[in-house]
């Protein structure tokens, strides 16, 4: 079987893989035709996800001349339901809700049009690493690249083959798409509900574009540490839907798993690195789409340098990721998850009730408007002097 040569092979053509290809080609246009995107399924393919896309993703893509035009619902703010009250902040223009079936397909096609070769229906079976590169077999064809990127999701074949641990933070997620009901927030808000303290996580009600209408995505995100017991999320969602006057049996129930980032764990080996859900995402909310694009931005620049110099050990990838805006954001979110889900929610709930600006801070993170941090800290934390 003939081996087809490439500069870089990317396993997984979802947002993390396609964004890595796009940003790499932005920095190294000379690599057009030499970047391979392997996707085990065929586009457009279904991807279970609430579809909330933080504005920072669109801005990063626009910096390299990319705008993904798919049906979407514009989001202007956040609403948070707490046991002792409700908080809402609407700073405007913080993001949008998309359907992954459409967004992922459109992004992969742009990557193809910019110079990446996209092969669909090619799932990786095996790969081997030697001093000269990485050889990949899909069962149908064989490919060889100087390096490989694992962007193949939460159950990453690449991560498993490298023997890298999947970490302690695992989330169970369940969702349905329904019509609007009385009491739903306006279509321009993302609603997070943390009133139920029987599990570590939250419920959501997000507007979602579906078949030409604005429907509502409803679901639960439940996090576990170290294999701790997780309640049956479908039963929890069914109970919540009943309270909203809905019956879960009337809708298609979609389940998925997610894994939170653990920055102290390795996500690279010589000639191989992980991005997106394969590396780990935000553990407090499970947000992953905008972070996938951010992973692509960081990895694209990094790989452009490393492929040019031939320094492909990737020993400093973890440091590069941790020192990036994405790494700092993920570290902050992991700290919040630790505080909210392990040490106790009450202080955080009181913070949002006493200082609603904290929710505006959350909206700013979602939108990518968090600089300078001191300015936000002075608004939110007691006893802080105004930022200079």
Instruction: Count the domains in the chain.
Output: 2
Rounded to whole angstroms, the Cα distance separating 331 from 327 reads 6
Residue 308 located in a structural domain? yes
Same domain, 126 and 205: no
pLDDT for position 4: 93
pTM of the model: 0.94
Query: Strand 52-54 relative to strand 35-39: parallel, antiparallel, unpaired?
Result: unpaired
Residue 358 located in a structural domain? no
- Candidate from 80-84, 170-174, 249-253, 335-339 with smallest mean pLDDT: 335-339
Instruction: Give the end of a domain, one of 259, 287, 308.
Output: 259
Domain containing 69 — which CATH number?
Answer: 3.50.50.60
Q: Are 218 and 209 in contact (CB under 8 A)?
A: no
User: Which tokens belong to 166?
Assistant: 């999947």
Burial class (CB in 10 A: 0-12, 13-18, 19+), 285: buried
Residue 375 located in a structural domain? no
User: Which tokens belong to 38?
Assistant: 């392997």
Residue 233 located in a structural domain? yes
pLDDT for position 6: 98
Mean pLDDT of all residues in 216-226? 90
pLDDT in tens, 19-28: 999 999 999 9
Same domain, 100 and 149: yes
Same domain, 255 and 133: no
Please, which pLDDT band fits residue 383 given cuts at 50, 70 and 90? very low
Same domain, 185 and 248: yes
pLDDT for position 333: 86
Residue 16 located in a structural domain? yes
Rounded to whole angstroms, the Cα distance separating 107 from 82 reads 36
pLDDT for position 227: 65
pLDDT for position 218: 98
Residue 17 located in a structural domain? yes
- Whether residue 379 is predicted with pLDDT greater than 70 in this model: the reply is no
Same domain, 110 and 154: yes
C-beta neighbour count of 243 within 10 angstroms = 8
Please, which pLDDT band fits residue 384 given cuts at 50, 70 and 90? very low
Residue 373 located in a structural domain? no
pLDDT for position 385: 38
pLDDT in tens, 279-292: 998 888 989 999 99
Please, which pLDDT band fits residue 152 given cuts at 50, 70 and 90? very high
Q: What is the CA radius of gyration of the chain?
A: 21
Same domain, 267 and 298: yes
Instruction: Give the end of a domain, one of 259, 294, 327.
Output: 259
Rounded to whole angstroms, the Cα distance separating 285 from 337 reads 8
Same domain, 268 and 120: yes
pLDDT for position 359: 93
Same domain, 250 and 266: no
Mean pLDDT of all residues in 123-127? 94
Q: Are 276 and 154 in contact (CB under 8 A)?
A: no
Same domain, 204 and 224: yes
Rounded to whole angstroms, the Cα distance separating 216 from 100 reads 15
Same domain, 103 and 18: yes
Rounded to whole angstroms, the Cα distance separating 305 from 271 reads 13
pLDDT averaged over every residue in the chain: 91
pLDDT for position 375: 58
Same domain, 38 and 139: yes
Rounded to whole angstroms, the Cα distance separating 134 from 128 reads 6
Percentage of the chain lying above the pLDDT 90 cut = 73
pLDDT in tens, 166-177: 777 788 999 999
Residue 185 located in a structural domain? yes
Q: Which helix (H) or strand (E) holds 198?
A: none
Same domain, 158 and 265: yes
Instruction: Give the end of a domain, one of 213, 233, 259.
Output: 259
- Candidate from 162-166, 214-218, 274-278, 350-354 with smallest mean pLDDT: 162-166
Domain range enclosing 46: 3-75+96-167+261-343
To the nearest 10°, report the CA torsion of 357, 362, 363, 364.
Answer: 90
Rounded to whole angstroms, the Cα distance separating 212 from 128 reads 46
To the nearest 10°, report the CA torsion of 178, 222, 341, 202.
Answer: 0
């Amino acid at each position: 079987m003939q081996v087809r040569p490439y500069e870089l092979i990317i396993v997984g053509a979802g947002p993390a893989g396609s964004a890595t290809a796009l940003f790499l080609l932005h920095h190294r246009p000379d690599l057009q035709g030499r970047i391979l995107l392997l996707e085990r399924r065929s586009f457009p393919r279904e991807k279970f996800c609430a579809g909330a896309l933080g504005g920072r993703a669109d801005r990063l893509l626009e910096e390299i001349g990319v705008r993904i035009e798919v049906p979407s619902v514009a989001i202007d703010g956040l609403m948070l339901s707490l046991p002792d009250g409700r908080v809402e902040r609407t700073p405007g223009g913080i993001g949008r809700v998309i359907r992954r079936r459409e967004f992922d397909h459109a992004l992969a096609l742009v990557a193809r049009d910019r110079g990446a070769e996209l092969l669909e229906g090619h799932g990786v079976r095996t790969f081997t690493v030697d001093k000269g590169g990485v050889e990949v077999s899909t069962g149908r064809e064989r490919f060889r690249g100087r390096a490989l990127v694992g962007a193949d999701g939460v159950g990453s074949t690449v991560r498993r083959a490298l023997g890298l641990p999947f970490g302690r933070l695992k989330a169970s997620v369940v969702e349905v798409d329904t019509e609007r009901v009385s009491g739903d927030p306006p279509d321009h808000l993302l609603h997070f509900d943390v009133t139920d303290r029987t599990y570590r996580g939250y419920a959501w009600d997000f507007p979602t574009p579906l078949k030409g209408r604005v429907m509502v995505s409803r679901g639960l995100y439940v996090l576990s540490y170290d294999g701790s017991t997780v309640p049956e999320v479908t039963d929890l969602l069914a109970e919540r839907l009943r309270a909203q006057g809905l019956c879960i049996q009337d809708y298609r129930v979609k389940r998925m798993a997610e894994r939170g980032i653990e920055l102290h764990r390795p996500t690279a080996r010589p000639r191989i690195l992980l991005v997106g859900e394969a590396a780990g995402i935000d553990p407090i909310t499970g947000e992953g789409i905008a972070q996938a694009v951010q992973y692509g931005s960081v990895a694209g620049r990094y790989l452009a340098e490393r492929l040019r110099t031939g320094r492909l050990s990737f020993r400093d990838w973890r440091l590069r990721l941790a020192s990036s805006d994405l790494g700092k954001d993920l570290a902050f979110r992991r700290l919040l998850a630790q505080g909210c889900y392990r040490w106790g929610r009450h202080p955080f709930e009181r913070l949002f009730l006493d200082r609603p600006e904290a929710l505006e801070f959350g909206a700013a993170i979602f939108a990518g408007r968090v600089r300078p941090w001191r300015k936000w800290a002075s608004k939110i934390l007691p006893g802080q002097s105004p930022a200079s």
